[in-house]
Structure 1
Amino acid sequence: MRITCIGGGPAGLYFALLMKKQDPRHEVTVLERNRAGDTFGWGVVFSDQTLGALREADPQTADEILQSFNHWDDIEVHINGRTVRSGGHGFCGIGRKKLLNILQARCEQLGVKLVYEADVQDDAGIDADLIIAADGLNSRVRQKYAASYQPDVDLRNCRFVWLGTSRLFEAFTFDFQQTEWGWFQAHAYRFDEHTSTFIVEAPESVWQAAGIADMSKEEGIAFCERLFAKVLDEHSLVSNASHLRGSAQWIRFPRVVCKNWVHRREGDGTPIVLMGDAAHTAHFSIGSGTKLALEDSIALARDIAESPVDLSAALQRYVASRSIDVLRIQNAARNSTEWFENVERHARLDPEQFAYSLLTRSQRISHENLRLRDQAYVEGFERWLADGPAVPPMFTPFTLRGLTLKNRVVVSPMAQYSCVDGVPAEHHLVHLGARAMGGAGLVFAEMTCTSPDARITPGCPGLWNDKQGAAWKRIVDYVHVNTTAKIAMQLGHAGAKGSTRVAWEGIDQPLAEGGWPLISASPQQYLEAVSDWSRAMDRADMDRVKADFVAATRRAAQAGFDWLELHCAHGYLLSSFISPLTNQRSDEYGGSLENRLRYPLEVFAAMRAVWPGPLSVRISAHDWVAGGITPEDSVAIARAFKAAGADLIDVSSGQVSKAEKPTYGRMWQTPFSENIRNRVGIATIAVGAISEADHVNSIIAAGRADLCAVARPHLANPAWTLTEAARIGFTGVEWPRQYLSGKQQLEREFERQRAQGVAAQEQANKALGV
């Protein structure tokens, strides 16, 4: 093939040399706009894993890169006069110019044609079978064919400047400095025997308030030198961006996501493939920009080798597989970006927990992964967190309003649709009893309704009469007598989402017969043209519903529940008042958020007056629909409930509108919990795709929540908590005495699996030379 790479950065050069190595008959040209030897930036970072991939693709290039690397294992975090150090992270730093020189030399050795000072405006005039657009962040090719590539560029909230220093850092160093304007942070690492990269970053508002926008380049650098004088240890900072003036060297990071990576040129059908920063970007705080560029090159070269006579098939396979890998890295980078955009929130944590939160910010590094990297660090942190012997964070106790839970695992309220006339019977006794015996610290009953017309379905439980109260007491007594778990009641009213069939007969589908009238904040049809219409509540409705909640609260106390929660989420009745999507009232209960919260707060206050124990509120922190509740709104909502006497916020999201478009993933709703917990100063429960002990440990240890709610995994396995303890090797968890004979067998089996996994990883690392 005739291959032309527009752009002589890591992506273009590495793809060129891999293709020429693969088949010397390929005619490969790289067009670079700069002169030979010119480059911008300081050092780049690779992980040991990336180096292994490079060695497999081209050992000679990898060996040359390795010889030029500065390798370190430690990360240091400096904040408030304290330093926290963690090891085992396995990073390598190399100067960007040195990396490009290695790739250029290898290209020339293999016969790649390198053309410098070729300022390519677009692809016009390039005659090739395959064109690679590796022309960087501001790709002209991507802009020209934007209608085809469909790029989405998200300009992030922090300003940063890329500087260098002769201060040689022994570890990858993060230094945080609080100023009168807000927090600044530095990311620093050594990349050769003389120089370290030194990136300074601050939120846009802080940067503007500090006056840097009006400073000259030299004044801005001097400002950074004064701010970070201690960590710089009398060394100066320098810039290599001689082409930039004033504050122009301070930029905001653009997150680039392209829907399509391949464009077929009109006329001859030549494929033009985006690669590297032209196709996608990942924030520098996870050091993956160059990694992604090189891995793009490896993947496309491999796919072409596997389909040498069918380029279209190779490109399809490349985009299908690579886009998934890139999205995973970009999601991690987004998490990391947002962490650094909100340092003020995290800085309220103790330095120990602040550093742990930083290390796990991307959600790619978990608690057990940290333990593999640096067992001494993790055990020391666990001792600090437990204020005693080291214990996995999920198994530390939690006390709220005098009630102590034995651990941080909560069995979520999960609808069972298995009651008759709202009375829980044998199914609920077995369901809740089994999960209480399964190790969780707190077990929630499903949303229980305060009146017959408050139900979602005819199979939902209630607490509107004494017969139901007695049935609940039977279950509560079983949990208290036979387990050490605590049990919670969640009270709610379905509102416009009521009078529907049980889930397995058609979720959210209206009843064919036997239904009941629906009420909500405003007239509403949950499923357009399908659901029954609700009517707007009047004052009499409000008084009646509030009285029903108070009566149910009293029955919950009589039944002996340890904990009570008010359901104000997911589009149910009280949620319909809070969200502007479902509240169009013109009276004092509509309009502003303060007004929309008025009725839910009235109900909550009435419950608080008769309930002395822990009282939490479940909210939807994000409607995932334009014009709906936002994460910023959720902070105000949480503050209002805290002021009214709430002890904890159970932080969920969505299910208010069928137009929602959530962004799913592991622990995907946890950031909402962290946002509320560390800005409002109230305990929270995190929910959403929390399915492993590692998830719970990481969330609790990082201060992202105080408790973690586990739903589907606990449905599949009533003893999920006990099983996960055995999986991570924690033997100190309490088992029901009737089941003790199974404890050691399960622990031995997981111990064997862990040993096999470690051996397999060591063998893989050895094969890659890592």
Structure 2
Amino acid sequence: MVKLFEPMTIKDITFKNRIVMAPMCMYQSDQEDGRITDWHRIHYPTRAVGGTGLIILEATAVQPQGRISSRDLGIWEDAHVEGLAELVGLIKKNGAKAGIQLAHAGRKATVDGDIHAPSALAFNDSYKTPTEMSKADITETVKAFRSAAVRADRAGFDVIELHGAHGYLLNEFLSPLTNKRTDEYGGSSENRYRILREVIEAVNEIWTKPLFVRISAHDYTKGGMTPEQYIEMAKWMKQQGVDLIDVSSGALVPAKIPVYPGYQVKFSETIKHHAEIPTGAVGLITSPLHAEEILQNGRADMIFLARELLRDPYWAFRASKELDAEIEVPVPYERGWV
């Protein structure tokens, strides 16, 4: 059987295939209120029509000061639920499961006012210097993730992904390059993991459906995190009930990254086999044959596509033709796929 189109069940949610639309910021909330617009109503359901099994919404801010930009989607207040629920309904009606990435930008926030981070270190000269978070700030942020999970559940999402990658807040705590704290949230790997542990615990108090975490498995900088170092944290995530780790890399600090097709797949493979937890592979995966090879050889359990799904919303249909897999397509499209 073609592995890419093999269903996968996590908890009580069954994904019709292993194709995932990775979270990609759209910056299309147009009134700084974090609400969905017609852009989202068209953009996401189109990929559902196109056969994608799971669609994960872009980084959605759990606190207004945690937005990457003023045009980010938000889930920090109850007023966001109605629009998100509408979007979930459109995605599900067109055959996909719906996920949401809960996020806090940390020191990479570009909104007005103070921004927060584990330590008062700017990303680069173009970014503001953040305020080092107090323990009260950390507690408030953990509660914000929990409240966001409540709202995600009310909106009907099937999956929550916690954004612990790409140099945003949780990632900043995990890496010694950006976490210079001397209290219980800094220093040892266990201490640096503490805020993510607390967030996972808080979310699991109310969330019973699949829970993913995205990580940046490699900092590409001396003294930073590597896939081998993340094995320990991945085991902790598994113990806490995380169902899958979405393995990306980079963007914590300015660094030169060697990029080529599938350049992050080896990181997924390392985490999957050494932590014994399902993983998603992402990063310049464009060919259906490449995606199938990754799955057939046990290097990942799901394929996360990003820019390729911007270029081709119907990638799943093309993949089915190239891999000679029989799949269901919407009735109006059948004439194009016989």
TM-score (norm 1): 0.43
AA of the residue aligned to 1:517 = D
1:437 aligns with 2:53: no
CA separation in 2, counterparts of 1:469 and 1:635? Answer: 35
Superposition pairs of residues 310-709 of structure 1, within 5 angstroms = 391-419=1-29, 420=31, 421-481=33-93, 483-499=94-110, 515-527=112-124, 529-658=125-254, 660-709=255-304
CA separation in 2, counterparts of 1:602 and 1:530? Answer: 31
Which one has a larger percent helix, Structure 1 or Structure 2? 1
AA of the residue aligned to 2:268 = S
Mark the runs of 5 or more structure 2 residues left unpaired by the alignment: none
- The equivalent of 2:328 in structure 1 is 734
> Once the 2 structures are TM-superposed, how far is the Cα of residue 581 of structure 1 from its aligned partner?
0.5
CA separation in 1, counterparts of 2:78 and 2:335? Answer: 40
> Once the 2 structures are TM-superposed, how far is the Cα of residue 632 of structure 1 from its aligned partner?
1.0
> Once the 2 structures are TM-superposed, how far is the Cα of residue 407 of structure 1 from its aligned partner?
0.6
Superposition pairs of residues 183-198 of structure 1, within 5 angstroms = none
CA separation in 2, counterparts of 1:633 and 1:535? Answer: 27
Cα pair 1:671 1:704 within 8 Å, conserved = yes
AA of the residue aligned to 1:615 = L
Q: Secondary structure at the match of 1:445?
A: strand
**TM-superposition CA deviations, 1:434-478 (whole Å, max 9, x none):** 001111110110010011111000110001122211100001111
> Once the 2 structures are TM-superposed, how far is the Cα of residue 516 of structure 1 from its aligned partner?
2.4
**TM-superposition CA deviations, 1:548-603 (whole Å, max 9, x none):** 11111000000000011111111101111000000000111111111100111111
CA separation in 2, counterparts of 1:452 and 1:410? Answer: 27
> Once the 2 structures are TM-superposed, how far is the Cα of residue 728 of structure 1 from its aligned partner?
3.3
**TM-superposition CA deviations, 1:740-760 (whole Å, max 9, x none):** 22222xxxxxxxxxxxxxxxx
- The equivalent of 1:725 in structure 2 is 320
AA of the residue aligned to 2:122 = Q
**TM-superposition CA deviations, 1:45-76 (whole Å, max 9, x none):** xxxxxxxxxxxxxxxxxxxxxxxxxxxxxxxx
> Once the 2 structures are TM-superposed, how far is the Cα of residue 393 of structure 1 from its aligned partner?
1.2
Q: Greater Rg, structure 1 or structure 2?
A: 1
**TM-superposition CA deviations, 1:216-241 (whole Å, max 9, x none):** xxxxxxxxxxxxxxxxxxxxxxxxxx
> Once the 2 structures are TM-superposed, how far is the Cα of residue 727 of structure 1 from its aligned partner?
3.0
Q: Secondary structure at the match of 1:447?
A: strand
Superposition pairs of residues 214-233 of structure 1, within 5 angstroms = none
Cα pair 1:411 1:440 within 8 Å, conserved = yes
- The equivalent of 1:712 in structure 2 is 307
Superposition pairs of residues 206-217 of structure 1, within 5 angstroms = none
Higher mean Cα deviation, 461-470 or 440-449? 461-470
CA separation in 1, counterparts of 2:203 and 2:113? Answer: 26
AA of the residue aligned to 2:275 = V
AA of the residue aligned to 1:405 = F
Off by >3 Å, runs of 4+ in structure 1: none
CA separation in 2, counterparts of 1:467 and 1:519? Answer: 24
CA separation in 2, counterparts of 1:517 and 1:727? Answer: 51
Superposition pairs of residues 87-166 of structure 1, within 5 angstroms = none
> Once the 2 structures are TM-superposed, how far is the Cα of residue 638 of structure 1 from its aligned partner?
0.6
Q: Secondary structure at the match of 1:657?
A: coil
Cα pair 2:59 2:103 within 8 Å, conserved = yes
**TM-superposition CA deviations, 1:252-292 (whole Å, max 9, x none):** xxxxxxxxxxxxxxxxxxxxxxxxxxxxxxxxxxxxxxxxx
Cα pair 2:68 2:105 within 8 Å, conserved = yes
AA of the residue aligned to 1:734 = E
> Once the 2 structures are TM-superposed, how far is the Cα of residue 484 of structure 1 from its aligned partner?
1.9
**TM-superposition CA deviations, 1:608-639 (whole Å, max 9, x none):** 11100000111111101000001111111111
TM-score (norm 2): 0.97
> Once the 2 structures are TM-superposed, how far is the Cα of residue 718 of structure 1 from its aligned partner?
0.9
Q: Secondary structure at the match of 1:586?
A: coil
Cα pair 1:620 1:634 within 8 Å, conserved = no
Q: Secondary structure at the match of 1:488?
A: strand
AA of the residue aligned to 2:86 = R
Cα pair 2:309 2:315 within 8 Å, conserved = yes
Q: Secondary structure at the match of 1:418?
A: coil
Q: Secondary structure at the match of 1:623?
A: coil
Percent identity over paired residues? 39
AA of the residue aligned to 1:458 = S
**TM-superposition CA deviations, 1:481-538 (whole Å, max 9, x none):** 2x221010110100000016xxxxxxxxxxxxxx1211001001111x2211101100
AA of the residue aligned to 2:62 = T
- The equivalent of 1:297 in structure 2 is none
Structure scoring higher RCO (CA < 8 A, sep ≥ 6) equals: 2
AA of the residue aligned to 1:486 = K
> Once the 2 structures are TM-superposed, how far is the Cα of residue 735 of structure 1 from its aligned partner?
0.7
Aligned residues: CA RMSD: 1.0
- The equivalent of 2:337 in structure 1 is 743
Cα pair 2:6 2:16 within 8 Å, conserved = yes
Q: Secondary structure at the match of 1:639?
A: helix
CA separation in 1, counterparts of 2:37 and 2:197? Answer: 32
Q: Secondary structure at the match of 1:618?
A: strand
Cα pair 1:499 1:516 within 8 Å, conserved = no
Cα pair 2:52 2:96 within 8 Å, conserved = yes
AA of the residue aligned to 1:525 = A
CA separation in 2, counterparts of 1:594 and 1:468? Answer: 34
Cα pair 1:398 1:404 within 8 Å, conserved = yes
Q: Secondary structure at the match of 1:591?
A: coil
**TM-superposition CA deviations, 1:151-176 (whole Å, max 9, x none):** xxxxxxxxxxxxxxxxxxxxxxxxxx
